[in-house]
C-alpha cells in the first residue's frame, strides 16, 4: 500500500509538473539508445514523463517508488511499446504519456493489460507539453483508471492493439488511488503460450529489422505469441539487441537457471568427474599436460607422502603453507580418512577465508559426500574476435555455509595461461531484475601500452538461499549472461 500526502495533493484537480531542463537533456541522450525515429520519440516522452513524475511521487509518497522491472530494462521496452511501470510497495502504476493535447480517448497498449506479469493496478494518462521554450515544458496528469475498468469498460481496438476509455471517464484526483487500493484488484488474464526455441528464433528473425517501426502490430503474428516473446526478459533483450545491431552471442531463449546446490548433490551421486553438456569440472577444462599430471601423481600419491603433507596443516604453520598443503591433499588424498579428518579440522579452525575455500574444494575431491565439501566447475566462453580469438573460462565454485547459505566464488581467466585478460572486460553480478549488485562488479585493467595486465577477475559473495542472481561477462557491446539460483 502507498499513501500520498493528502494535504499537498488534495488541491490538484489536474496535476501539472514542470519538466526540468536537465531531464530534457538527459532524455535526448537516452533516446539515442533506440533504433529508429519513432522509437526515439517514444523513449524521449517516456523518459521525461518518468523522471518528472517519479521526482514528484518520491516527495509525496510514504513508500519510495521504483522502476519496474528495472531502469536498465527500459530501452528494450520503449523500443516497441509506449508506457513505463512504477512499483510502489505492492501497488503498480503504469504511466502512459502522450503529446497530443486534443485526444478524446485514453489508450493503453494491450501489452500492459494482457501480459500477466505486466498487469498494473492503475493506469495514469499523462500529457507531455513541449510546445513552449525549453524552460516552459511540463506534464499534465489527465487522470487514472484501473485494470478492471479497462478490461470491463474499455473498447478494444484490434488495429492498434489498445484498450481505450473516453478521457472524461478518468478519475482526475490522484488521492482517490489511495482510498481505492485493494477495492479493485486486477482482472485475471489468461496465461500466455510457451514458445518453442524454434518459434522464438523465428520471431526474432522477423521482428529484428529496425525499419519495422511497429513490430507489435504485425498482423501475421498473433498477439499471444508477441506477448509471450515480450514477457520473457531474455527474449525481449535479444530483440532489442538485434534491432540495435548489437552482436550478442550464446543466446539461449528460456534457458533454465542453474541450481547451484544441485552441484553439491552431483558430487555425491556422480563423484568428482560429474559434468554436463556445458559446465565441466575445473580440472577437465583447465587440464594440465599429461606428463605433468603423471609426474605429480607418481611423486605424491603414495600413502607415505600423505602424512608429511597433513603435518603442514597444523596451526603453527602460515596460512600460505596450510593453503598449499590443503590443495595437495585434494590431489592425493582420495578416500584417506586421515586426510579427510585433517581438512575438516582445518575448516573448523582456520580464520583465513582463502584457506577455507581451498580446504572445502579439496574435501569435495577426496570425500564428495561430506557436508562441508565444495565443488568447482567451469565453462568455455568464446567471444571470438572481440578477444582476439582467445578463449576464456568462467569458473564458479561453491561451498556450504551456515543457515542453508552457500559461498560463491566467480572467476574469469584465459584458458591459455600465457594470455592476459583483455582490457575493459567486466565480470558483474546482477539481481533478478537486471540491476548490478553494489560491490559485485570488477573490470580488467590495461598497462601503459593499452595491453591487458590482469591474469584473472574474481568476485566472492554469499547470496540468500534460493535467490536468483545473474552473472554477466561483458566487453564493448558484447555480453554473455548466465542465471543461477543459490
Mean pLDDT of 44-55: 97
Q: What is the pLDDT of residues 327-338, one digit of tens each?
A: 999 999 998 999
How high does pLDDT run on average in the chain?
86
pLDDT category at 152 given cuts 50, 70, 90 is: very high
Comparing CA positions, the residue from 331, 322, 281, 267 lying closest to residue 302 is: 331
Confidence check: pLDDT of 12 > 90: no
- Whole-number Å distance between alpha carbons of 457 and 483: 19
Confidence of residue 251 (pLDDT cuts 50, 70, 90): low
pLDDT surpassing 80 at residue 43: yes
Give the pLDDT score at 382: 64
With a cut of 80, say whether residue 20 has pLDDT above it: yes
Strand 392-400 and strand 406-414: the pairing is: antiparallel
Angstrom distance (rounded) from CA 161 to CA 145: 18
Counting residues of the chain whose pLDDT is more than 90, the rounded percentage is 57
Mean pLDDT for 296-312 is 71
Q: Please give the backbone phi and psi of residue 298, each rounded to the nearest 5 degrees, phi first.
A: -65, -30
Residue 482 has what pLDDT?
86
Q: Looking at residue 405, what is its pLDDT?
A: 93
Instruction: Quick: pLDDT tens for 54-75.
Output: 999 999 888 889 999 999 999 9
Kindly state the average pLDDT of the residues 388-414. Answer: 89
Collapsed DSSP state (helix, strand, coil) of residue 486? coil
What are the distances in angstroms from CA 185 to CA 121, 149, 236, 332, 388?
Answer: 7, 10, 27, 63, 55
- Please give the pLDDT value at position 15: 87
Please name which of 243, 222, 229 lies closest in space to residue 200, comparing C-alpha atoms: 229
Tell me the pTM.
Answer: 0.56
Predicted confidence at residue 286, as pLDDT, reads 80
What average pLDDT does range 377-391 have in this prediction? Answer: 67
pLDDT of residue 390: 64
Q: Give the pLDDT confidence score for residue 357 in this predicted structure.
A: 97
**pLDDT at residue 385 in the model:** 41
Rounded percentage of the chain residues whose pLDDT exceeds 70: 86
Q: State the cell numbers at 352.
A: 583465513
Amino acid at each position: 500500500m502507498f499513501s500520498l500526502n493528502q494535504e499537498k495533493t488534495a488541491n490538484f484537480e489536474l496535476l501539472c509538473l514542470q519538466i526540468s531542463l536537465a531531464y530534457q537533456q538527459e532524455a535526448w541522450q537516452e533516446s539515442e539508445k533506440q533504433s529508429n525515429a519513432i522509437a526515439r520519440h517514444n523513449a524521449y516522452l517516456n523518459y521525461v514523463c518518468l523522471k518528472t513524475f517519479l521526482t514528484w511521487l518520491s516527495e509525496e509518497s510514504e513508500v519510495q517508488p521504483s522502476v519496474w522491472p528495472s531502469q536498465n530494462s527500459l530501452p528494450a521496452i520503449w523500443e516497441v511499446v509506449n508506457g513505463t511501470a512504477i512499483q510502489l510497495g505492492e501497488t503498480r502504476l503504469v504511466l502512459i504519456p502522450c503529446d497530443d493535447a486534443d485526444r478524446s480517448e485514453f489508450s493503453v497498449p494491450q501489452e500492459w493489460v494482457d501480459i500477466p506479469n505486466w498487469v498494473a493496478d492503475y493506469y495514469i494518462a499523462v500529457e507531455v507539453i513541449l510546445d513552449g521554450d525549453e524552460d516552459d515544458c511540463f506534464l499534465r496528469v489527465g487522470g487514472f483508471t484501473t485494470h478492471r475498468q479497462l478490461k470491463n469498460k474499455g473498447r478494444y481496438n484490434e488495429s492498434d492493439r489498445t484498450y481505450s476509455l473516453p478521457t472524461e471517464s478518468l478519475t482526475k484526483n490522484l488521492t482517490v488511488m489511495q482510498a481505492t487500493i485493494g477495492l479493485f484488484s486486477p482482472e485475471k488474464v489468461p496465461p500466455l503460450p510457451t514458445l518453442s526455441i524454434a518459434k522464438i528464433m523465428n520471431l526474432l528473425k522477423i521482428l529484428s529489422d529496425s525499419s519495422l517501426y511497429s513490430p507489435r502490430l504485425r498482423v501475421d503474428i498473433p498477439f499471444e505469441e508477441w506477448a509471450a516473446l515480450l514477457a520473457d526478459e531474455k527474449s525481449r533483450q535479444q530483440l532489442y539487441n538485434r534491432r540495435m545491431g548489437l552482436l550478442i552471442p550464446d543466446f539461449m531463449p528460456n534457458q533454465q537457471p542453474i541450481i547451484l546446490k544441485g552441484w553439491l548433490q552431483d558430487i555425491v551421486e556422480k563423484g568428482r568427474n560429474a559434468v554436463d553438456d556445458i559446465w565441466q569440472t575445473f580440472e577437465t577444462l583447465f587440464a594440465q599436460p599429461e606428463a605433468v599430471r603423471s609426474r605429480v601423481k607418481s611423486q605424491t600419491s603414495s600413502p607415505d607422502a600423505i602424512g608429511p603433507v597433513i603435518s603442514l596443516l597444523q596451526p603453527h604453520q602460515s596460512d600460505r603453507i596450510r593453503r598449499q598443503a590443503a590443495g595437495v591433499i585434494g590431489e592425493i588424498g582420495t578416500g584417506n580418512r586421515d586426510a579427510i579428518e585433517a581438512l575438516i579440522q582445518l575448516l573448523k579452525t582456520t580464520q583465513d577465508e582463502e584457506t577455507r575455500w581451498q580446504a572445502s574444494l579439496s574435501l569435495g575431491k577426496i570425500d564428495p559426500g561430506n557436508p562441508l565439501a565444495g565443488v568447482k566447475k567451469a565453462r568455455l566462453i568464446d567471444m571470438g574476435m572481440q578477444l582476439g580469438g582467445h578463449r576464456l573460462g568462467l569458473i564458479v565454485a561453491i561451498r556450504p555455509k551456515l543457515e542453508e547459505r552457500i559461498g560463491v566464488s566467480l572467476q574469469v581467466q584465459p584458458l591459455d595461461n600465457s594470455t592476459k585478460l583483455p582490457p575493459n572486460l567486466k565480470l558483474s553480478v546482477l539481481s533478478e531484475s537486471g540491476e548490478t549488485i553494489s560491490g559485485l562488479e570488477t573490470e580488467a585493467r590495461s598497462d601503459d601500452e593499452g595491453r591487458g595486465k590482469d591474469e584473472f577477475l574474481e568476485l566472492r559473495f554469499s547470496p540468500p538461499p534460493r535467490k536468483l542472481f545473474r552473472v554477466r561477462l561483458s566487453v564493448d557491446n558484447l555480453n554473455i549472461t548466465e542465471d543461477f539460483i543459490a
